[in-house]
Amino acid sequence: MEILLLIALMLATAKIMGYIFEKIGQPVVLGQLIGGFLIGIFFKTEPVIQEFSNLGVLMLLFLAGLESELEEFKRVGKPSVIVAGVGVAAAFLFGFLAAYPFVELHEAVLYGAIMTPTSVSITVKVLMELRKLNTREGTTILAAAVVDDVLGILVLTVAISLLAEGRVEYDVLAEILIEVAAFLFVFLYFGPKFADRAFRAISRIDLPETSTSFAIIFMILFAVLAEHLNLASILGAYLTGLALGQSSRKREIVEHVNTLGYSLFIPLFFVEVGMRVELSYILHAGLFAVVYTLAAVASKVLGCGIGAKVAGFDWFPSLRIGVGMIPRMGVELAMLSVAMASGIVSGDALTVAILMVFTTTIITPPILKWLYSR
């Protein structure tokens, strides 16, 4: 019963704080994150709530995929690879250089790897509010974030292999590359056809909300499959939404998943993220955490911004893309847990990572909204 009351408190906080921040001209996400931070002073998150939160971020990326146009995704494919590639290289370099004065060489390599991915969920929410998600910039950010996570996991694979084994395990790296290529090929070229056939068969089940239920089932199945293939679960959720978004059931699925997601799971996700940050983490983070966080911000703005300019964007849209790629969240912490489990880095790294994640998550919405108001 206590958990149910906590969920009720989190939902009320999400809506009230979101409304307040919207009224003062700030992103709803920012209000929900700060509301979660305030709740976290008095209450701790629970495993059940964390699972609800995980489902929330999957639904958010699933909806982003549903609302993305496949043809537009293909059109910005090359720019997105350039943006992600330059951004990952810059993030690794900045992370390594920021950490090297404070830690041993092998830990500095790992800190560089941890900095590489982008958590696009915060940016997606802001772009949805601004109705800019389906623009060339928004689609580029989404596609680049997908490539970004894949490249980040590859970087981490190489780093852990190099540090733990003293050599790069090329067979593992080759296996991941093949899995990624197969995953993207299947979704982009066969996903829409499979979706239409599957939902024609599903429509024979004459029960309420059958299509919605199976849409969520597919989302979870492919998110789990992506994770099983050592990819980010949000990659599976987004690509599932992208495939279903090309089917004849798109409007029905979007409407119903929107209602389910934004009434429960997605607000819980943002509030739960805020709850994870403890004041003691920030107070004891020290100079290293501050330098590392500043490097995390600069690396994406400069790296992805320059990548966007190279890909053909003007300077101001390039800046928007660079800022949109700033946030870090789940993938980074997951990567850190892998490294900690391998014994390569100590638990002290969690404090630095949490401050970096929280800061990049908090600052992106207002900056992005200001840039789009220009």
Q: Which residues contact 238 (CB under 8 A, 6 or more apart)?
A: 61, 62, 64, 65, 142, 146
pLDDT tens digit string along 146-162?
777 667 766 776 776 66
121 contacts 54 by C-beta, under 8 angstroms: no
Tokens found for residue 18: 């979101």
pLDDT of residue 302: 94
Q: Which overall architecture, per CATH, does domain 2-373 show?
A: Up-down Bundle (1.20)
Taking the C-alpha atoms of residue 182 and residue 58, their distance in angstroms, rounded to an integer, is: 21
- Counting residues of the chain whose pLDDT is more than 90, the rounded percentage is 20
Q: Note the residue count of the chain.
A: 374
Domain boundaries, the chain: 2-373
Taking the C-alpha atoms of residue 359 and residue 369, their distance in angstroms, rounded to an integer, is: 16
Taking the C-alpha atoms of residue 108 and residue 295, their distance in angstroms, rounded to an integer, is: 13
pLDDT of residue 109: 83
Any idea what the Cα angle at residue 67 is, between residues 66 and 70, rounded to 5°?
80
What is the block-wise mean pLDDT of the chain (374 residues), using blocks of 10 residues? 90 94 77 88 87 86 77 69 90 93 83 84 80 82 78 71 60 71 79 81 83 91 82 77 80 87 90 77 75 94 93 89 84 63 65 79 86 83
pLDDT tens digit string along 318-370?
999 999 999 886 566 666 665 665 666 665 676 787 778 778 888 888 898 88
3-class SS shares of the chain: helix, strand, coil, % to 5: 80, 0, 20
Number of other residues whose CB lies within 10 A of the CB of residue 59: 24
